Amino acid sequence: MQISLAGVLWGTGGLAVQLVRDRVPMSVLTISAWRMGLAAVVLLVALLVLRRGPDLRRLLRERPWTAITVGLCTGSYQALYFGAVVAVGVTVSTVVALGLAPAVLTVAESGATRQLPSRRRLLVLVAAIGGLALVSTAAGLSVTGPHPVLGVVLAVASGTTYALATALGRPLTGITSPLALTTVTSVSGALALLPLGLLAGGPHVSSDPGVVALLGYLGVMTLAVAYGLLYAGLRTVVGSAAVIATLLEPVTAAILAAVILDERLGWLGIAGAALILVAVAGLEGQAGGDGVLPEGPAPL
């Protein structure tokens, strides 16, 4: 449930970015840098107010480089994805990046346990990726960009980096709180994206109250809160199942686009959204089986 809620929050991010760009021609890299920077500030304040300093110190003492690496991966896969969108278009980028991550994690988990995934897990994976492809195609954004080969390479790198961030972040949930982990990864990601945001063209700041509010929403809700929910859910759910659950993001984005921007889903989009929802529901049926790990600290 926590990871599904994170996927829903991420699904509102695309609309917020579009609304920002409707008001001011700010680059997506600059918006991403603001998003992670604001999240980092909010999380640091929350850490102090809630007195979770010991959790932060423990994480930095026991696994500092792993936590920083997760943060760098978090910032990197966003930048790689946006680069893929510019090069090859939204549809191909979304299908490759989001569809690749659960497949990579399923293969990695099978290799680590030396066991083939169950038939049910494979069916869930196929349903999720198939639904994602239908939702993306039905969005009417299938025009190929100017550099298709480069775009696919960037999308593959984004999906792989996303999978790596999930795989590395999950064990850390056993030694610290979601708040401390989200704080470290957000600060690391913000520091990585800040130079890119400054180098990007277009305005870097805005005095428009609407833009400020939207940037605040992106930082607090779609990053600080959403990643806190993700890391809380990763305490009991394996990485591939977690990534499948986050595919609620494109479903949410498609529904919001239909309601607010008057973009029509069509039958393909509806069928794709239904497939993703079926896949996410299928994860619940794996509780206590191969999809969910027992309660307690994750292995280090």
Range of the domain at 132: 2-284
How many CB atoms neighbour CB 203 within 10 A? Answer: 12
Angle at which helices 178-199 and 148-172 cross, to 10° = 150
Neighbours of 206 (CB within 10 A): 17
User: Is 294 part of a structural domain of the chain?
Assistant: no
Angle at 72 (CA atoms; ends 68, 76), nearest 5 degrees? 170
Structural domains in the chain (count): 1
Q: Does 290 reside within a domain? A: no
- Does residue 291 fall inside a structural domain? no
pLDDT digits (tens, 9 = 90+) for 219-235: 999 888 988 887 788 77
Residue 287 has pLDDT above 60, yes or no: no
Query: What pLDDT sits at residue 217?
Result: 94
Is 279 part of any domain?
yes
Q: pLDDT per residue over 85-129, tens digit each?
A: 667 766 566 667 766 777 777 777 777 777 777 777 778 777 777
- Confirm whether 197 is domain-assigned: yes
pLDDT digits (tens, 9 = 90+) for 248-260: 766 776 677 667 7
Structural domain includes residue 214: yes
Residue 25: what residue type? P
Mean pLDDT of 152-173: 85
Query: For 208, left (φ over 0), alpha (ψ -120 to 50), or beta?
Result: beta
Other Cβ atoms less than 10 A from the Cβ of 52: the count is 17
For residue 292, list its beta bridge partners: 237
Compute the mean pLDDT over every residue in the chain, rounded to the nearest whole number: 77
Residue 211 has pLDDT above 90, yes or no: yes
**How close are the terminal C-alpha atoms of the chain, in Å?**
24
Element (H, E) at 87: helix 64-88
- Domain annotation covers residue 298: no
Entry pTM = 0.72
Cβ(156)–Cβ(220) below 8 Å: no
Sequence-distant (6+) residues with CB within 8 A of 50 are: 179
The answer to whether position 296 is within a domain reads: no
